[in-house]
Amino acid sequence: MASKKNRRQLHKIKKNRAGVSIFFFALILAAVYFTLWIILEIVGQALLSAKLNEEYKAIEYMARIYEHGLISGEDVSGTLAISEREYFVVDENGQILSGFHKGTCSMQEGKIPLTGMPEPAKVYLDSDSEWLENHSTGLYPDYKVILSRIFFASADINSHIVISTETGEQVYLGDETELDKEADAVHKAIVMDHEQFPVWFSVPLSDSDHRFVAKAVASFNGDEMIVALALILVAIALLLILLVLMIGNIIRNARSTKKIVKTYMTDAVTQGHNWVWFTLKEEPILRGARYANQKIAVIELEFDNYRNFCTCHSMLEGEQMLCKIYEETAKTLTKREAVAHVATASFAILMEYENEESLTARLRSLIETLENIDRTHKFAFHIGVRLLDIERKENGKAVRRKKLNLEEEFNNASTARLTLTGIDDSRIAFFDQKLVDEKKWIDAVTEHQEQAIKNEEFVVYYQPKYDPKTKRLRGAEALIRWDSPELGFIPPGKFIPIFERNGFITEIDHYMLKHVAEDQKNWLDLGLNCVTVSVNISRAHF
């Protein structure tokens, strides 16, 4: 059905315009997000590895000093204390033998990869090592934790940047106005916080199963954190820009789709609603609960002899007249009612009504308004009406029209309007069961007419004409009847008008002339006196 095709087409328009755009930009957003994240991880890994490599070398150097003390018998504790680094020595069983530490080493063993080393370094977790992730193969930095800590620390760094002026007043870096005033008086260095990531490196000692363990701290100062913050902000900015572009494009596509849908549902002549709008928008509304308790009239309004008007004037004037008809009709409707231009000179209308009499009066008022659009011309309008009454349950509650087919109901209204064909003045016709039965009968007759001629189902009867004085046969009139195996015995009044409308009557005329001539020939062959036989011929032949 047309309404289903229109609905599928509309869905296809909306889906293609929005879906492809959203998928495309979501794909780009995901790709950029992962790319930026990988870049940040690479940068973070490079910075962290550089820091940890320096720490590992320092601890390895301390291990060599400790070994030298063992070999030479010298006390190297003072030398080790210079580094101010916590350390201790463990045996093969993990027992602490000596050292200087505060007990923050958890003794949870693992490994961590370092740049330039063939194998991961053996480490112990510190109690503040939430930045490390446990894996079956070792310990790996959690860059989400590292970057977030650097981000929040560096974001708050302005509160730790203090400048002392000559007057002894301290000014925060964030106060740009004060900085401008005191710029020439700055004489003290900027002091910044550090962000630290601790871990305990374990270095094997030569010629023994003992290991030298010392605390390593990957420390990022203010400058480094600002660089990291800048990278993070750039990544976030790029993501936000892309997100804004994506949302902007989606909005533009949505607006474009809306315009396309509006064009799809706009009539090119009247610039009002068209048939697609009428079926797609109004049908779901009429099926809803809101209209269940309301009588609805589905109406077709036909501008009669529109083609003749265009022939006598012009197509432009004809279309201008259609626009006026649409506008004047729309003015007579309420907000809950609707009108659409659906064909060349046809309009679909939905009206609420209380009873048939009030609706008829309203439609006559509409016709009167339309007939007076242009007083220099005489117009006629034919209206077909299909009434949708309220269906109620046994308890009196109104039933929703869930299976309403607006296209079918409009076709019924059009069927009623077609009964007015050939009438020159304005008329209103209502669709009812009698009209349905008539249409079904016309379809049945039309369907069987060809086969009836072929099978000679039409029977010729002769009505004799006698001279009343002599009582002698003077002539006859040939009459036709249809003896159909499917439809029964049919009088001419039930099929001749139909044949006259569809043009099949000329075939009946030939059929009658042929059979009357054959009958007369047979009568002559039998030695009977033939009389004049009159045969009715349709004016369609002339």
Q: What is the pLDDT of residues 380-404, one digit of tens each?
A: 999 999 999 998 888 889 999 998 9
* Predicted pLDDT at 271: 92
Specify whether the backbone of 130 is left (phi greater than 0), alpha (psi in -120 to 50) or beta. alpha
Q: What is the pLDDT of residue 154?
A: 61
Distance CA 283, CA 7 (A): 11
Query: What is the model's pLDDT at position 7?
Result: 58
3-state secondary structure of 375: coil
How far, CA to CA in Å, does 161 sit from each of 190, 219, 401? 6, 18, 74
In this structure, how many other beta carbons lie within 10 angstroms of the beta carbon of residue 333?
Answer: 15
Predicted local confidence at residue 315, as pLDDT:
92
Measured distance CA(140)–CA(137) in Å, rounded: 9
Altogether, the residues listed in the chain come to a count of 542
Residue 72 has pLDDT above 90, yes or no: no
Tokens of 217: 């701290």
Which stretches of 109-207 are DSSP H helices? 143-155, 176-182
Question: Which pLDDT score is estimated for 191?
Answer: 38
Say yes or no to pLDDT of 354 above 90.
yes
Beta bridge partners of 492: none
Task: Count Cβ atoms within 10 A of the Cβ of residue 489 and give its class: 0-12 exposed, 13-18 middle, 19 or more buried.
Answer: exposed
What is the pLDDT averaged over residues 102-119? Answer: 81
Enumerate residues 6+ apart whose C-beta is below 8 A from 297.
349, 350, 351, 352, 353, 359, 385, 386, 387, 388
Residue 450 pLDDT: 93
For 406-432, what is the mean pLDDT?
90
* Cα gap 29→37, rounded to integer Å: 12
Which pLDDT value is given to residue 461? 94
- The angle formed by the CA atoms of residues 495, 500 and 506, to the nearest 5 degrees, is 105
Assess contact for 459 and 511: CB atoms under 8 A. no
Sign of the CA dihedral running 257, 259, 265, 269 = negative
Among the residue ranges 22-36, 314-328, 457-471, 475-489, the one predicted with the least confidence is 22-36
Q: If you average pLDDT over each of 162-171, 222-231, 252-261, 449-458, which comes out highest?
A: 449-458
Interatomic CA distance for residues 101 and 89, integer angstroms: 10
pLDDT single digits (tens) 304-329:
989 889 988 899 999 999 999 999 99
Q: Which residue has the tokens 């659009």?
A: 373
CA gap 216, 141 in Å, rounded: 14
Helix orientation angle between 356-371 and 315-331, rounded to the nearest 10 degrees: 140
The whole-angstrom separation of Cα 196 and Cα 220 is 6
Predicted local confidence at residue 219, as pLDDT: 79
Confidence band of 355 (pLDDT split at 50, 70, 90): very high
Residues forming beta bridges with residue 299, ordered by sequence position: 349, 385
Predicted confidence at residue 465, as pLDDT, reads: 92
Tell the residue number behind the tokens 């199963």, with chain if given.
209
pLDDT of residue 192: 42
Using pLDDT thresholds of 50, 70 and 90, give the confidence band for residue 9.
low
Q: Find, among 313, 294, 316, the residue nearest to 305 by Cα.
A: 313
Residue 280 to residues 14, 192, 268, 366, Cα–Cα distance (Å): 14, 67, 18, 26
**pLDDT score, position 240:** 81
Any bridge partners for residue 98, and if so which?
89
DSSP 376: T
DSSP letters for 257-313: HHHHHHHHTB-TTTSSBBHHHHHHHHHHHHHSGGGTTS-EEEEEEEETTHHHHHHHS
Residue 170 has pLDDT above 60, yes or no: no
- In the predicted model, is pLDDT for residue 104 greater than 90? no
Q: Tokens 């069987």 correspond to what residue?
A: 448
Average pLDDT on 497-526 reads 92
- CA–CA distance, 287 with 280 (Å, rounded to integer): 12
Name the most confidently modeled range: 347-356, 392-401, 424-433.
347-356
Please tell me the least confidently modeled range out of 55-64, 66-75, 295-304, 310-319. Answer: 66-75
Q: For residue 6, name the pLDDT band (cuts at 50, 70, 90).
A: low
**Residue range 515-520: mean pLDDT, rounded:** 93
Tokens of 23: 């998928």
Please tell me whether residue 211 adopts helix, strand or coil conformation. strand
pLDDT reading at 378 higher than 80: yes
Q: Which of 95-104, 363-372, 476-485, 506-515 has the lowest mean pLDDT?
A: 95-104
Q: What percent of the chain has pLDDT over 70?
A: 84
Contact 122, 137 (CB under 8 A): no
Question: Is pLDDT larger for residue 233 or for residue 282?
Answer: 282
> Which pLDDT value is given to residue 185?
45
Half-sphere exposure in the Cβ direction for 168 (13 Å, CA): 0
Cα(first)–Cα(last) distance of the chain, in Å? 41
Residue by residue, what is the 3-state secondary structure of 121-149?
Answer: EEEEEECCCCCEEEECCEEEECHHHHHHH
Residues 278-302, buried b or exposed e (16+ Cβ, 10 A)?
bbbebbeebbeeebbeebbbbbbbb
pLDDT in tens, 195-252: 778 888 999 888 778 899 999 888 777 676 677 777 777 777 877 887 788 788 778 8
**Structure tokens that stand for 28 in this block:** 């780009």
pLDDT higher than threshold 80 for residue 16:
no
Task: Pick 225 or 342 by higher pLDDT.
Answer: 342
